[in-house]
Amino acid sequence: MSGDDRLLVLTYHAIDDEPSVISMPPALFRRQMDTLAALGLRGIGLVEAFRHREETGRFPDQSVALTFDDGYLTVLRHALPALQSHGFGATAFVVSGAVGMGRRQAAAINRDLDRDLMDWKHLAELAACGVEIGSHTQTHADLRRVGPDALRRELSVSRETLQQRLQLPVESFAYPYGRFDRNVRDAAAGQYWLACTTRLGRHTAGDDPLQIRRVDAWYLRRHARFERLAGGGLDAWLALRQAARDIRQAFRR
């Protein structure tokens, strides 16, 4: 993708071979990174992308923002070597209250945190290798369903803890499960510059930086689809997938 007013942001979670919707096989992840490099594209962090746009009026040339939610240990073990082989950056969104926990311990905080998580040394190593650290709340709570005090804690304690332990600024955030409403968005704005959703599509000029669209890697296991997306295509397909999601959610209400 050339530098313009569109940014492709990809979402990964665990980089492993488990049969889960949040898993990306390491071999496939490496192939995807190799493909980006072969297409002349560079993987970067989210803050880097938006800082460039703030300074120049455009997103960086030939760049794709890579993000990893939750802070799983497999990101360090399997994703980082693939990123380093091409000099890529990325952003890792970390659940601060589960740092260093094994899967059983983490599941006691939130049953959806079902993998081993990076500890503070791992996160420091990741950051030293050029991966931005962002927040993913304190406990991975659905922020629409917590009270005002808990909402403030989930947003502020996570940011403060990460900044204190890593001695790095934390400017970006990812809503757990991609769930937010106006109240949650406005609360996040008091703590963060950028916030990611799970709504499908590219971030475009005029979009709210606290409602950044992303494309989950689950949709990209077919390599031809990944290549088309990385090459600038599939916008209509993404719009249709998001419309189908919206319809399903409307019927659940």
H/E run at residue 172: strand 172-174
User: Which amino acid is residue 199, in one-letter code?
Assistant: R
- Percent of the chain residues past pLDDT 90, beyond the cut: 94
Sequence-ordered alpha helix ranges (H) in 167-232: 182-189, 223-230
pLDDT of residue 196: 98
Q: Which residues of the chain have pLDDT under 50?
A: 1-3
pLDDT tens digits along 187-229 = 999 999 999 999 999 999 789 999 999 999 999 999 999 999 9
pLDDT of residue 1: 45
Judge whether 168 lies within some domain.
Answer: yes
pLDDT of residue 219: 94
pLDDT tens digits along 40-55 = 999 999 999 999 999 9
pLDDT of residue 5: 85
Structural domain count, the chain:
1
pTM, rounded to two decimals: 0.96
Judge whether 108 lies within some domain.
Answer: yes
The domain in which residue 86 lies consists of 6-252
Print burial letters for 99-118: b (CB count within 10 Å at least 16), e (below 16).
bbbeeeebeebbeebbbbbb
Angle at 63 between CA 37 and CA 127, to 5 degrees: 85
User: Tell me, what CATH number does 18's domain have?
Assistant: 3.20.20.370
Judge whether 65 lies within some domain.
Answer: yes
Q: Is 159 exposed, middle or buried (0-12, 13-18, 19+ CB in 10 A)?
A: buried
Judge whether 1 lies within some domain.
Answer: no
Decide if 138 contacts 154 (C-beta within 8 A). Answer: yes
pLDDT of residue 2: 42
DSSP code of residue 210? T
Sequence-ordered alpha helix ranges (H) in the chain: 26-38, 46-56, 73-74, 80-84, 103-109, 120-128, 148-166, 182-189, 223-230, 235-252
